[in-house]
Amino acid sequence: MKKHPLAKLDQQHLWHPFTQMRDWLRSEPLVIERGKGALLWDVRGREYIDANSSIWTNLHGHNHPKINDAIRGQLARVAHTSALGLANEPAALLGQAMVNLANPRSGPAKGQPRLTKVFYSDDGSTAVEVALKLAYEFARRTGRALKPRFMSLDGAYHGDTVGAVSAGHIDLFRRAYSGMLFKTDKVMSPYCYRCPFNKAKPERSDARDTRKCNFECVDKVEQRFVARKKRGSSYTAMLLEPGLQGPAGMIAQPEGWLGRVAQIARGHGTQLIADEVMTGLGRAADRYFASHDEGVQPDYLCLAKGLSGGYLPMAATLTTQEVFDAFLGDYSEFKTFFHGHSYTGNALGSAASLANVALLQAKATEAKRKKLAGNLRAEARRLWSLPQVGDIRQAGCVLAVELVRDWQTREPFNLAEQAGLRVCDGLAKRGVLTRPVGNVIVVMPPFCTTQRQIKIIFAALHDSIDENFTKQ
């Protein structure tokens, strides 16, 4: 079969992110033409279930009529105006909606920060970059630190801008740019499946359910704070993904970890930056934000991906009145926050996001989220029969399957073996699209995905793993 003309054009001109382009050029890529609900179709008419929500962005399904209408309505008025010296209606209304969503009456306990201000940007990296810059300058302006220092988790990934890369701790992503990065400290992440303190024998269940430890990972966090204090200062901010570390390998945190860590940070006068780019907006939480599941309210809340429902680039960093006030002053004082983007507060993105948030808050969506989480949990059980399935962990509507050579030893595959990629290639042949994180298969479909479609996903996943390993 000859390559499709669009596939040829792509391979001739485009450079794809996080893609080994030599491999990309060897075969015809899938060229997606249209979508509806949880389904996608390519230019050859083949149908696929979108099992990773178009890289973790799509909440309510493709081609949603209410989001479509919101964009069309705004497009008929104005597509974009600058946020430098001008305001626009959908951005202002979205700001109000985000503040209301981030400060629920039944949310975090009293005494925790109230998020009142919204700074727009374009994607998850810039949302985190904004938070880092704000925390850095806030510390300096208030006299809290002359040389602010940040802490994040081992295996952390927070984006691809220089600040976000500096706060990350995945060597593969940092190594090439090490000379450009500023110093940040890392601390042990709560990876129950591979925790040296977890003495539980391998079981056919989520490692968090059978763990045998005393939260030594929390002790490591406290020890890091104490060591920093002995040097005469504390950390300016601790940056983390609440509930679930995505690119680290979909590491789901055990219940109670976040609350304990937040208490330690607060006790040392350290601000919290919650990177909920992936976990927020109901994706990996019972509430709208994973932080709130443990009663934690951060000083900075970073959102992107699902903010516009998977339609348009849109990001937001929410923070407190106290932080905002530190940047107030006369023109001559130059206390301005010198950071911005040409498309900040874009009217189309804001309109799409407003419609998305309204859908998210609807009772029907809450029911869909609960049903989807239950279906994922139920259908994943069939995978425990496979010896290459080491751990299955779930946070809300996100499920991850960690592949190993043998579940009894937990021996990992070498990344060069492309175990995850091979399984995902097998899924694509069976009409299911997702992308692995190393040796971890991610199942993160839109909230509208039906029980029948979930059954198809896990049947295909079972058969692809079996085909790639068991039958060799």
Kindly report, residue by residue over 133-188, the tens digit of the pLDDT.
999 999 999 999 989 999 999 999 999 999 999 999 999 899 999 999 999 999 99
pLDDT at 104: 82
In this structure, which amino acid lies at residue 235? Answer: Y
**Mean pLDDT confidence for 378-404:** 97
pLDDT band at residue 132, thresholds of 50, 70 and 90? very high
Question: pLDDT tens across 29-40, in order?
Answer: 999 999 999 999
For the CA atoms of 257, 191, 245, 294, the dihedral, rounded to the nearest 10 degrees, stands at -10
CATH class of domain segment(s) 31-63+363-470: alpha beta
Question: pLDDT tens across 275-303, in order?
Answer: 999 999 999 999 999 999 999 999 999 99
Q: Are 457 and 379 in contact (CB under 8 A)?
A: yes
pLDDT band at residue 111, thresholds of 50, 70 and 90? confident
- Which single residue is written with the structure tokens 């069939």? 382
Answer yes or no: is pLDDT of 106 > 90: no
Which tokens is 95 given? Answer: 């700001």
- Which single residue is written with the structure tokens 């983390």? 240
Which helix (H) or strand (E) covers residue 41, if one does? strand 39-42
pLDDT at 107: 59
pLDDT at 1: 80
Question: pLDDT tens across 245-275, in order?
Answer: 999 999 999 999 999 999 999 999 999 999 9
Q: Strand locations in 283-436, DSSP E?
A: 300-303, 315-320, 389-395, 398-406, 411-412, 432-433
> CATH 3.90.1150.10 in the chain, residues?
31-63+363-470
HSE-up (13 A, CA, CB side) for residue 297: 20
Which helix (H) or strand (E) covers residue 115, if one does? strand 115-121
User: Could you tell me which of 464, 465, 461 has the C-alpha nearest to residue 444?
Assistant: 461
Which tokens is 197 given? Answer: 């303190």
Question: For the domain bounded by 73-361, which CATH number is listed?
Answer: 3.40.640.10
Contacts of 94-100 spanning 24+ positions with Cβ under 8 A: 94/118, 94/350, 94/353, 94/354, 94/357, 97/354, 97/357, 97/358, 98/303, 98/316, 98/318, 98/357, 99/318
- Which single residue is written with the structure tokens 């937001």? 316
Q: Are 68 and 95 in contact (CB under 8 A)?
A: no
Answer yes or no: is pLDDT of 325 > 90: yes
Task: Indicate the average pLDDT of the chain.
Answer: 96
pLDDT at 64: 98
pLDDT band at residue 109, thresholds of 50, 70 and 90? low
> CATH 3.40.640.10 in the chain, residues?
73-361
How many other C-beta atoms are found inside a 10 Å radius of the C-beta of residue 334?
8
